[in-house]
Amino acid sequence: MRSKVAERIQNETPPEVRIFVRQYTDIVLRINQILKAKGYTQKDLAEKMNKKPSEINKWLKGSHNLTLKTLAKLEAELGEPIIFTSKEQLV
């Protein structure tokens, strides 16, 4: 059973914020899924992308707003799609 406080917070959260959190979570889960499948750590990914491990950590814990450009770089380095568009799903 949810607390009344939790219900109030959810009811007061704008729809776009809920959508953002859901999508960001899906993206981070997908990146972690790829990392695990390839046997990579966050440190490995940081080295491949010439980034500091702390920056990768920020991306994957949700304290950084990922841009499409960053997502494209991640896809290029990981060699796997992260976001699937409806066009890709139809093929």
**Structural domains for the chain:** 15-90 (1.10.260.40)
pLDDT at 84: 85
Ranges under pLDDT 50 in the chain: none
pLDDT at 30: 96
Closest CA to 21 of 62, 55, 58, 57: 62
Q: Where are the alpha helices (DSSP H) in the chain?
A: 4-12, 15-38, 42-48, 53-61, 68-78, 86-90
* Dist. CA 26–CA 15, nearest whole Å: 17
- DSSP 8-state secondary structure symbol assigned to residue 27: H
